[in-house]
Amino acid sequence: MVSVINTVDTSHEDMIHDAQMDYYGTRLATCSSDRSVKIFDVRNGGQILIADLRGHEGPVWQVAWAHPMYGNILASCSYDRKVIIWREENGTWEKSHEHAGHDSSVNSVCWAPHDYGLILACGSSDGAISLLMYTGEGQWEVKKINNAHTIGCNAVSWAPAVVPGSLIDQPSGQKPNYIKRFASGGCDNLIKLWKEEEDGQWKEEQKLEAHSDWVRDVAWAPSIGLPTSTIASCSQDGRVFIWTCDDASGNTWSPKLLHKFNDVVWHVSWSITANILAVSGGDNKVTLWKESVDGQWVCISDVNKGQGSVSASVTEGQQNEQ
Amino acid sequence: MKLKEVDRTAMQAWSPAQNHPIYLATGTSAQQLDATFSTNASLEIFELDLSDPSLDMKSCATFSSSHRYHKLIWGPYKMDSKGDVSGVLIAGGENGNIILYDPSKIIAGDKEVVIAQNDKHTGPVRALDVNIFQTNLVASGANESEIYIWDLNNFATPMTPGAKTQPPEDISCIAWNRQVQHILASASPSGRATVWDLRKNEPIIKVSDHSNRMHCSGLAWHPDIATQMVLASEDDRLPVIQMWDLRFASSPLRVLENHARGILAIAWSMADPELLLSCGKDAKILCSNPNTGEVLYELPTNTQWCFDIQWCPRNPAVLSAASFDGRISVYSIMGGSTDGLRQKQVDKLSSSFGNLDPFGTGQPLPPLQIPQQTAQHSIVLPLKKPPKWIRRPVGASFSFGGKLVTFENVRMPSHQGAEQQQQQHHVFISQVVTEKEFLSRSDQLQQAVQSQGFINYCQKKIDASQTEFEKNVWSFLKVNFEDDSRGKYLELLGYRKEDLGKKALKDSDQVAQSDGEESPAAEEQLLGEHIKEEKEESEFLPSSGGTFNISVSGDIDGLITQALLTGNFESAVDLCLHDNRMADAIILAIAGGQELLARTQKKYFAKSQSKITRLITAVVMKNWKEIVESCDLKNWREALAAVLTYAKPDEFSALCDLLGTRLENEGDSPLQTQACLCYICAGNVEKLVACWTKAQDGSHPLSLQDLIEKVVILRKAVQLTQAMDTSTVGVLLAAKMSQYANLLAAQGSIAAALAFLPDNTNQPNIVQLRDRLCRAQGEPVAGHESPKIPYEKQQLPKGRPGPVGHHQMPRVQTQQYYPHVRIAPTVTTWSNKTPTALPSHPPAASPSDTQGENPPPPGFIMHGNVNPNAAGQLPTSPGHMHTQVPPYPQPQPYQPAQPYPFGTGGSAMYRPQQPVAPPTSNAYPNTPYISSASSYSGQSQLYAAQHQASSPTSSPATSFPPPPSSGASFQHGGPGAPPSSSAYALPPGTTGTLPAASELPASQRTENHSVQDQAPMLEGPQNGWNDPPALNRVPKKKKMPENFMPPVPITSPIMNPLGDPQSQMLQQQPSPPIPLSSQSSFPQPHLSGGQPFHGIQQPLGQTGMPPSFSKPNIEGAPGAPIGNTFQHVQSLPTKKITKKPIPDEHLILKTTFEDLIQRCLSSATDPQTKRKLDDASKRLEFLYDKLREQTLSPTITSGLHSIARSIETRNYSEGLTMHTHIVSTSNFSETSAFMPVLKVVLTQANKLGV
């Protein structure tokens, strides 16, 4: 069941391109072609504009909240080739850092799992992915992966910090060091998986090929303690794939077509518990998908302007699972 | 940015949008000769492979053609939706011919690739276009005003759009309208454009300005607006692009004058109507917005003109341009750096030449380098305006609490005027609920917990159970809440004492026949017999008043008689044994005293070969471990029954555990699941979780619900029956509970999620989740927003480095979470002269110590959560201390006249709301931060303490708090400072301080004694406020009192002389020692205030501790969370008496750990840490003792070795991980005495970086 509990009038003057809640789900950040980033307090169904952040000189594509242990930090990326890291201090939001290391539109920003420190991955139309690492003292170290995706990178998404299965079954003596990984999708129709080598360099680990057009978004599913890694990808070609990898080395990924839509699919987002995927497409529709017992992905809801209901059949299916 | 290039002088056509992969077809251009002046012609197909970073295009096919081409297009004709068939390639030739090629055949390498050919036209065919609505329709234009419409289904006979225009002119361009399928436009170099309506079969409008200088080289319809088109002029005198609207055809709507010389080609993007490409004789390629005239982009090109330019239909950012220098280049308009490509080229060069000397100069070449300038130029900026296709119009993202954030933008209206149209830029937040049954069951569980209606709940579950096992589990759980739980357990296992008694009478002879060593019947009937015998005995004894003969004859009887008469029990017993008179022997031995009895029993068992001997042995020797360890697992029920019947409370759990573990390790799945029952009996939640998880698939919400229901109920039961410290939440349970709460939260039930989270644990994931839930609830957090409770706030200074950046983000992750509280205790500013400045007594000095067996992980210690035990006692209700804590009667000597209360209110003092008292604020510079943290809900006792503290602080000198409130703060100091921690907190040697016994010279321990003297007086209230930490192993349940006695018959006569240490202890010592010594930390304030206290001032008259004091500490409460650590401290002196050597293979552990502690000590600066380390060093003796006795399980020792290894490599975080692993996998009681302290050491080492 999907029911609208809050409608926020953002007063943006142009298209909204992203809307993200913070870690607690109490604040909403939006960004728009009107070059602004806005932050709202949306607790208890209200909407209070906390900040209207100006600083970008082009449409702002995405916003990303950092983990609250680092304070209230929001990253935004824009067509103006810049990434801005905003920060709240004493109740006021202001620009904390500006990253101008890209030669083209920066399309996606994503914070690494907080366990790694404050690391931001940025994907740009210049084909590069840059990684900003906070090193203290207001300094950010930049690592850049050039030519990650020809013509451009559209999306980046970090792998969860918990290496699947490591929580309990970690063999003794093995280093608990996380292997940092993230996925990216681009205009070369590819999804690429990147891994940090021991020398700190980022290396392409995998190339996932199934889409026949631009990959618009990738989303690495949160870990729920199972030894499977899952990535969702969507593309200009209207297809959404679910990629899974069961082996520990992370080398064998197999795609499963979730659905072929009639229009470009712009965005995929996993629920926190990683069992529902929200798909938003060019037909302005948002659908929710869930994997049924037999491994098929089923649309459980059509969210039309936020209205929708979960179809009964699936709910019954869940009961049958018992 | 240039992506690819091909060295061809050719016309080009992209494959249609449907096609994947993307191909580019090139046909040798008829107009230009290439450098070789070759007259050969070819048709080639290349693949655009963007995953290949090189500039080369992948050639797929080459077809040698006899034609050269003026125009090449690739139509989607007969292409299916999958793009499998590659459409049709249509070429305009030199001699009026139009040729249709099958590109799929070309790619396949077929010889016969021409589908059809027609040379109806006169002169070269320069203009071709495919109707996008009917892809079988192709328009062509050539000389003499010839325009034909070809139907690819019937290629032989073309149509005409109407009568030829006069005068005859060359048709240079032709284009179908993009909106209306029967409209066609043509243009010629002479300057005119004609629009045809195919339905009317005539030209409907002619477009031309009056300059006569428009030499049309390009014509394009607006992609979205039917009436608009652009014309480009080739004339250098008028190098313009005119935008026309046919509705106002008298003059162009707009004129774009961006080129300096004639325009050779244009292309309008189908993906974004605001992008129009044009290339001209000024050697520029421009991308402009024809709707505004603004130049958005200039492609970096060489100085050559381009004569053809095409957008890639499938990839909207890609275009190709053919230039007169014989090259087709593929560009992206998204900008980007070509550094990578250039570097590749340089590399190529370098590797070709090497560093050899190709020019014979005698000098090796320096490595090739790109000049700095080039690098700068290599950056190609993107379009000024974002292209339409990267503007995301819609999105949906999940957020915490099952919320879905969605937004959508109504599609951009096609013409500019409509852009102003009022759009609602709304974002919707929705609640997504998918697991209704899960929620309702969770709700029921919650209600059961709230209403305490556990029995009903369990009963319902029993009734609803589908499987026998499920029913069993719930029955077992239910028993926990009923009286006589052990008896009920037995019943559930199928044993009823009364029944057995009867059965035994009836079938006593069967006992002998029963085979199986510990067969149920045998055992239980035996039990019955005992009961019976006892009864008989009791019946017979009083009436045995008859006379009897005392025979002193020479036979055995006589000898025994003689021995007895001479009081020689030993001989008598020997004689009896010899004569196989077992019963006589035992009876006599009882009379002969403990030693003899024991020996006799041993002899008896050695002699007796009966099949049930082992059972009897176990019963008599109370060695249930033997039974549990060695019984046939098929008899687990019986073993469990035996344990239920006989085991003492303190060993009961462990035995159940043991049995459960055995069952669990059995591969057989039915048995495995039965282990759950054992764990339920044992009250071992953690193991239940582990076992259940193993047996069930816990990933589904409902199966998790199944587990959580049981766990929650069991935990409640355990709390009731065993007064278990609720803070002991194992790793696994924590994981499950947080998973459960996460699920609830994901369904939007945040309140329920909060309710189910174990409220008293420092498991990082739980602490983290609780914080998240609390805040997600949207409850206004008291104070301001700043504190992040579970995380140390990372400072992120502004852009420039400056003095602000004092908080550097540590690279070592494990240290990030250390709360400020940990730092605070190092500042010990109190002095006994200023009672107001007592605050530095920090219960949280060492969280791992204060929390006994459950040291918090290094991360995520709540700032406010100074004392979890206290927090557990006062979980949720906010308010003032004295309203919550049972009033504490002021013991006589404590009757204070001093303003000590806020000093004793330990934790309250160092987070005052207003830093009024200077010493306080000095000691805690970060006070405001902490104080706001403490306002966090769930930290009520601190919150309360604030208020409490603030009032007296404001006028410290004059206003003494009234007795009740002082009592309250006094109590606060009590539970807030468990015994062991108080030792750390107090600076040694200061007057009035009272370190724990272990830290005092033996002579000073009189203090303990003297305090102990007051015990009776304190006993009552102590139980009130100190229950969970101190008395937790003393069962409260009425059916299982602490002096629980197993069934009487055999054991009681035997047992009594030995005595139950626990009951003995309780007899001898009216009050358990633990609260006493925690008590010992209290007097300090009074002392400091000058009140004489005989306990301390008395110079060492009474030395040593009464045995009743130390002994119970050792034996009293094994495994008790708090008691253990404390007891250990106490027991050290006695332990040192006799020691075996540590086995060689384990000696390394000792040396490593001691070495580490020494290293830490040498680099630790503050006395607090040093004390902690000193103590750790002492407490690790416990580990060494276990090593000496070799009682540790191999997994633990091997784990310890791993830790030692990681210490050697200084990888403490790995050590800590191993530590967690050990703690989570090992038996609690086995490791509880030393593992926490080991963790302290590791953590310290990590912190100090030694």
Instruction: Assign A59 a pLDDT band (cuts: 50, 70, 90).
Output: very high
Banded pLDDT at B1042 (limits 50, 70, 90): very low
Does residue A241 carry a pLDDT above 50? Answer: yes
> Which among A223-237, B781-795, B926-940, B967-981 has the top mean pLDDT?
A223-237
Which pLDDT score is estimated for B525? 47
Mean pLDDT value across residues B301-311: 82
The partner residue sitting opposite B382, judged by closest CB among A21, A104, A170, is: A104
Cross-chain Cβ contact B816/A282 below 8 Å:
no
pLDDT of residue B1136: 45
pLDDT band for position B1019 (50/70/90)?
very low
CA atoms within 13 A on the CB side of A306: 18
Q: Report, as an integer, the average pLDDT of B1088-1094.
A: 43
Which one has a higher pLDDT value, B257 or B500? B257
Tell me: pLDDT of B591 over 50: yes
Long-range contacts of B509-516 (CB under 8 A, 24+ apart): B511/B612, B515/B611, B516/B611, B516/B632, B516/B635
Say whether B425 and A103 touch across the interface (CB within 8 A).
no
Average pLDDT for B851-866: 41
Specify the pLDDT at position B1083.
42
What is the rounded average pLDDT of the residues B621-639? 68
Touching B: A residues 87-116, CB under 8 Å: 87, 91, 94-98, 103-105, 107, 115-116
- Going by C-alpha positions, the residue among B99, B1002, B1056 that lies closest to residue B593 is B1056
Which pLDDT value is given to residue A18? 94
Contact at CB, B391 and A187, closer than 8 angstroms: no
- Name the residue with higher pLDDT: A238 or B515: A238
Alpha-carbon dihedral angle through residues B753, B759, B765, B770, given to the nearest 10 degrees: 50
Lowest model confidence (mean pLDDT) among B256-260, B625-629, B1168-1172: B625-629
Identify the closest residue of chain B to A35 by CA–CA distance. Answer: B386
Name, of A32-36, B530-534, B1081-1085, the range with top average pLDDT: A32-36
Q: Most confidently modeled of A257-271, B204-218, B679-693, B1011-1025?
A: A257-271
Q: How far apart are CA B1010 and CA B1102, in angstroms?
A: 9
- The verdict on A117 touching B (C-beta cutoff 8 Å) is yes
Q: Which amino acid is at B705?
A: Q
In this prediction, residue B691 has a pLDDT band, given cuts at 50, 70 and 90, of confident
Share of chain B above pLDDT 70, in %: 53
pLDDT at B796: 55
Residue A127 to residue B337, Cβ atoms within 8 A: yes
Q: What does pLDDT average to over chain B? A: 67
CA pair distance B921, B184, nearest whole angstrom: 85
Where is average pLDDT lowest: A39-53, B754-768, B1011-1025, B1136-1150?
B1011-1025
Average pLDDT over residues B240-244: 90
The three-class DSSP label of residue B1036 is: coil
By Cβ distance, the residue of B393, B778, B808 closest to A43 is B778
Tens of pLDDT along B35-90?
556 667 888 899 988 878 788 888 888 888 888 888 899 988 776 655 566 788 99
Q: What is the CA radius of gyration of chain A?
A: 19
Which range has the worst mean pLDDT, B269-278, B311-320, B826-835?
A: B826-835
A269–B426 CB contact, under 8 Å: no
- The per-residue pLDDT for B1069 is 47
N residues, chain B: 1250
pLDDT digits (tens, 9 = 90+) for B715-750: 777 776 665 555 566 677 777 777 888 888 888 888
| Residue-level pLDDT at B1240 | 81
Looking at the DSSP bridge assignments, the partners of residue A88 are A93
Give the torsion sign (CA, B168, B172, B178, B181). positive
Q: What is the mean pLDDT of residues B353-365?
A: 49
Q: In what order do the strands lie in the sheet with A36-41?
A: A16-21, A27-32, A36-41, A48-54
Contacts B392 to A, Cβ<8 Å: 17-18, 61, 216, 266-267
pLDDT band at B610 (very low <50, low <70, confident <90, very high): low
Tell me the pLDDT tens digit for each residue of B105-161.
Answer: 888 888 888 888 888 888 888 899 999 888 889 999 988 888 999 998 888 888 888
Q: How far is B336 from chain A (nearest CA, A)?
A: 4
Q: How confident is the model at residue A266, as a pLDDT?
A: 94
| CA-based torsion, B567, B571, B573, B575: positive or negative | negative
* Residue B427 three-state SS: strand
Which ipTM was obtained for this model? Answer: 0.91
- Tell me, what's the pLDDT at A32? 93
Provide the percentage of residues in chain B whose pLDDT is more than 90.
Answer: 5
Whether B6 contacts B28, CB under 8 Å: no
Task: Count the Cβ atoms, other than its own, within 10 Å of residue B323.
Answer: 24
Rounded mean pLDDT, B1243-1249: 81
Which is higher by pLDDT, B300 or A317?
B300
Where is B745: in which H helix or E strand?
helix B731-746
**Alpha-carbon span A270 to B189, nearest angstrom:** 58
pLDDT for the residue B693: 72
Q: What's the whole-number mean pLDDT along residues B1069-1094? A: 43
* In chain A, % of residues over pLDDT 70: 89
Average pLDDT over residues A264-277: 91
- Residues of A whose CB is below 8 A from B433: 1-2, 310
pLDDT score of A103:
87
The region of weakest confidence among B94-103, B359-368, B631-640 is: B359-368
Query: B804, A59: Cβ pair inside 8 Å?
Result: no
Task: Give me the residues of A, 241-280, that contact B with CB < 8 A.
Answer: 266-267, 269-273, 275-276, 278-280
pLDDT of residue A183: 95
Chain B contacts of A6, Cβ < 8 Å?
428-429
Q: Distance, in angstroms, between B396 CA and closest chain A CA?
A: 6
Mean pLDDT within B790-818: 44
Q: B1146-1174: buried (b, 16+ CB within 10 Å) or exposed (e) per residue?
A: beebbebbeebbebbbeebeeebbebbbb
Q: How far is B230 from chain A (nearest CA, A)?
A: 28
- B470-482 average pLDDT score: 77
Give the pairing type, strands B127-130 and B137-141: antiparallel
Q: What is the mean pLDDT of residues B1133-1142?
A: 58
Please provide the average confidence, as pLDDT, over all residues in chain A: 85
Q: What is the pLDDT of residue B222?
A: 92
**Does the CB of A53 have a partner CB in chain B at under 8 Å?**
no
Got the DSSP string for B89-111? Answer: EEEEETTS-EEEE-HHHHHHT-S
Element (H or E) spanning B1058, and its range? Answer: helix B1051-1058
